[in-house]
Amino acid sequence: MSSAAGNSLPSWHCILLCLLVALLSGCGINNIPTYDEQVKAAWAQVENQYQRRADLVPNLVKTVQAYAGHERETLQAVTEARAKVNSMQLDGNLLNDPVKLQQFEAAQSQLSSALARLMLVVESYPNLKANQNFLNLQSQLEGIENRISVARRDYIQAVQHYNREIRTFPGKIWHVILYRNMPLRETYQATTEGAEKAPEVNFQ
């Protein structure tokens, strides 16, 4: 009899443990790391779209140069802005370093401005505007700029969700008890006026 009772004890322990896990899960114990991973995934998309744009720049500059080679200042500004973007070392700590994050955003903003100036120059060259290669590059750039805008928006929303969880109940309690080493995240800040908008590159 006592043996049967002894065998049932672990079963009750397992049941209680399962109930405790379910209760804690329902209280949002995993929300903070989950939302943190969503922030990282959203930022990875921002970086991915920025890289796609940087990869497009050399062909764009080369095509424009063939028709407007004497626009050296504008072409050089685009090339230098791209070089600055590519020279930045990105690692997993970028989101934890507000200074580096701001520098990264400033470099991307500089490239956005340089590209916008380049597209204004194109207006003076009808033959370039009719060139099929340029039209393809223009279409790609327009699509990438739109995706950058969407990716930044998704990142901002992910950061807001994560930060709100840390600052409100019950997430605030879990943050103090279990996730004290996970700080509030910096949101995306446009570094120039209108930088949150995709540059107008449609000349149709």
178 Cβ contact list (under 8 Å, min separation 6): 29, 32
How confident is the prediction for the chain on average, in pLDDT? 84
| Among candidate residues 41, 73, 79, the one with its CA nearest the CA of residue 60 | 79
Percent of the chain with pLDDT over 90: 62
Please tell me the predicted confidence (pLDDT) of residue 189.
65
Q: What pLDDT shows up at residue 196?
A: 45
- Model's pTM, two decimal places? 0.79
Tens-digit pLDDT string for the chain (204 aa): 444 444 544 576 556 555 555 555 556 789 999 999 999 999 999 999 999 999 999 999 999 999 998 999 999 999 999 999 999 877 767 888 888 888 999 999 999 999 999 999 999 999 999 999 999 999 999 999 999 999 999 999 999 999 999 999 889 988 998 899 999 988 876 544 444 454 444 433
pLDDT in tens, 49-82: 999 999 999 999 999 999 998 999 999 999 999 9
Cα–Cα distance measured from residue 41 to residue 117, given in angstroms and rounded to the nearest whole number = 31
Single-letter residue type at 38: Q
